[in-house]
Amino acid sequence: MASNHLSKLVLLLAALALSAAAQAPTRVRGTIAAFDGNTLSVNNVEIRVTDKTEIVFTQPIALAEIKPGDFLGVSSVKRPDGSLSAYEVRRFPKPVNPGHRPLDGRDDQTMTNATVGAMVQAASGRELTLTYEGGSQKILVPENASISMLVPGSRAQLVPGAPVNLTMDASRVALRIQVSPRPL
């Protein structure tokens, strides 16, 4: 009898875990192929944009506009010597998911969401020291790194050729779209 109850409990927990996993947002990164005002096409995926979809725009800024105390999201690549070199730096209006982790499950790229502790001039560019609970990272910011801040965006910025990083739900409704300027 106890074995039967245990089996039912295991099945119930497995079903709950599958249900939670099915409802987790899905991330899509790519370039907008088309947008008709309601449906966005990215990487051959059709995604609905609703009035509840949050749209943010990555407004380019100069590295000099970043100050100690700012909260950044920095995408970096690991160099052969183990140091980190940023290719994308984003200033956020408020802290979001602080920490340091592999980017998209890759060992050669990282995402660091943290507060600027210091910025110094290094031989090959500027070096940021980013701090978060439990650690810190020193990251070189080369001249060719993309540097921007997030500002409220609009549907007008969802144009073919513009890079996006978005999350959508299981029914392919966009929850949040981060759109960048279309490359020249």
User: Rounded to the nearest 5 degrees, what angle is found at the Cα of 37, between the Cα atoms of 22 and 51?
Assistant: 60
Output the pLDDT for position 107.
81
Output the pLDDT for position 70.
95
Q: State the residue for tokens 């943010």.
A: 56
Tell me if residue 86 falls in helix, strand or coil: strand
Output the pLDDT for position 4.
55
Instruction: Specify the DSSP class assigned to residue 94.
Output: S
Output the pLDDT for position 106.
79
Please enumerate in sequence order all residues whose Cβ is within 8 A of that of 139, keeping only pairs 6 or more positions apart, or say none.
74, 76, 84, 85, 86, 112, 127, 128, 130
Output the pLDDT for position 52.
96
Low pLDDT (below 70) residues in the chain: 1-23, 122-124
Domain residue ranges in the chain: 2-49+158-179, 62-148
Output the pLDDT for position 166.
95
Tell me the backbone φ, ψ of residue 18, rounded to 5 degrees: -65, -40
DSSP string, 150-172: EEE--GGG--TT-EEEEEE-TT-
Output the pLDDT for position 184.
73
